[in-house]
Amino acid sequence: MSLSPQKVRANERIRAPQIRLIGAAGEQFGIVTPQDGMQRAQDAGLDLVEVAGTTTPPVCRIMDLGKYLYTLDRKEKESRKKQKTIDIKEVKMTTKIDEHDYQTKLRNARRFIERGDKVKLVVFFRGREIVYVDKGRKLVARFVQDLSDIAMVERNDGLEGKAIMLYLTRVASVKKKDVVASASPTNPASPGVLPPKTA
């Protein structure tokens, strides 16, 4: 969102009874009234701009308001560029998935995680397949193991209705052997597999 003059107090919009004034060249004028500051700014052909409104008294500087707003706007845009948006990509499969489809899903998940997205893994059961929950848990554990070099379980929702759901996120400094161990099907209490949760 671009900054506008309404978001920066300047000139007549400065309401404090006293201000600490800084000149255009950085000179210190000490504590003066806003009227005195505006007069000095007008004499220099510039504006009186509040640059630190939380101090007592607020700090104001004589400067070009337009250039100041442009600088703030540019900093805001640069800050937004540095903020990476993390998407959640959903990967769905059933317990009857064949090996080729499994590898395709795995490659897609790896690509999502490598570019910084999170992956929501959903293993769902059709009809009477719900009786094979353990098979679904093993499939989830295998998936976590296969991605353990770059990802770890961020959140495990377990069995919800007729689906097992968990979220994988990229890891920066987790040793592979530690993540693989946590995903072991023999360790049901670990974050890598589903907890003993029922519908």
- Structural contact between residues 193 and 187, judged by C-beta atoms closer than 8 angstroms: yes
- Structural contact between residues 125 and 95, judged by C-beta atoms closer than 8 angstroms: yes
Q: Does residue 196 have a pLDDT over 60?
A: no
Which pLDDT value is given to residue 132? Answer: 75
- Residues whose CB is less than 8 angstroms from the CB of residue 10 and which lie 6 or more positions away in sequence, other chains included: 47, 48, 49, 50, 65
The helix/strand count (H/E) of the chain reads as 5, 8
Q: Which two tokens stand for residue 146?
A: 């296969």
Q: Which two tokens stand for residue 199?
A: 């519908």
pLDDT band at 77 (very low <50, low <70, confident <90, very high): confident
What the chain holds in terms of domains, given with CATH numbers, is: 5-82 (3.10.20.80), 88-182 (3.30.110.10)
* pLDDT, tens digit (0-9, with 9 covering 90-100), for 143-163: 999 999 999 999 888 888 889
* pLDDT, tens digit (0-9, with 9 covering 90-100), for 99-155: 999 999 999 999 999 988 999 999 988 887 777 788 999 999 999 999 999 999 998
